């Protein structure tokens, strides 16, 4: 895949006024991306401009803002079940661990997902 020449993105962004002075900084930023990343950034900016969506007036920020993949929605973790004193489901691995300051007995996947402190394997 070929890299996109800097002048191509510079022309697309058409900076004006004080932003024309950002050329050197923009060129250094642009050159820091792989050809694949440049293609992706260019296509993202071009698509936004065609759809009339916001693209930052400052070309440096326009490039930087469009250099990242769209953010994925964050998964919200449900509180884990503390199985201390409760019947244990079969086929699960359990650990004693600290969650929200309290020690309890949790499934291994919950210990990992919640980054619980001081996990110690529980053997039946």
Distance CA 15, CA 9 (A): 10
Distance CA 84, CA 46 (A): 56
Map out the domains of the chain as residue ranges: 6-65, 77-124
**pLDDT at position 72 over 70:** no
Name the 3-class secondary structure at 26: helix
Contact 94, 106 (CB under 8 A): yes
**pLDDT at position 63 over 60:** yes
Full-prediction pTM beyond 0.75? Answer: no
Query: Can you give the pLDDT at residue 2?
Result: 86
**pLDDT at position 1 over 80:** no
Q: How many CB atoms lie within 10 A of CB 115?
A: 9
Query: Can you give the pLDDT at residue 15?
Result: 84
pLDDT tens for 79-100 read 999 999 999 999 999 999 999 9
Query: Can you give the pLDDT at residue 119?
Result: 95
Name the DSSP letter for residue 35: H
Query: Can you give the pLDDT at residue 73?
Result: 56
Question: What contacts 24+ positions apart, CB below 8 Å, involve 81-89?
Answer: 81/106, 81/107, 81/110, 82/106, 83/107, 88/124
Name the 3-class secondary structure at 99: strand
User: In the predicted model, what is the mean pLDDT of the chain?
Assistant: 90
Q: Which residue has the higher pLDDT, 19 or 47?
A: 47
Bridge pairing between strands 102-107 and 117-122: unpaired
């Amino acid at each position: 895949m070929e890299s996109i020449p800097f002048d191509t993105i510079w022309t697309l962004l058409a900076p004006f006024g004080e932003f024309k002075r950002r050329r050197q900084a923009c060129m250094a930023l642009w050159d820091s991306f792989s050809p694949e990343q440049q293609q992706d950034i260019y296509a993202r900016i071009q698509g936004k401009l065609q759809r009339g969506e916001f693209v930052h007036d400052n070309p440096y920020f326009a490039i930087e803002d469009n250099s990242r993949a769209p953010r994925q929605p964050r998964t919200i973790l449900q509180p884990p079940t503390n199985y201390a004193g409760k019947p244990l489901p079969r086929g699960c691995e359990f650990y004693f661990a600290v969650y929200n300051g309290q020690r309890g007995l949790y499934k291994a996947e919950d210990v990992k997902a919640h980054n619980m402190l001081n996990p110690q394997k529980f053997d039946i």
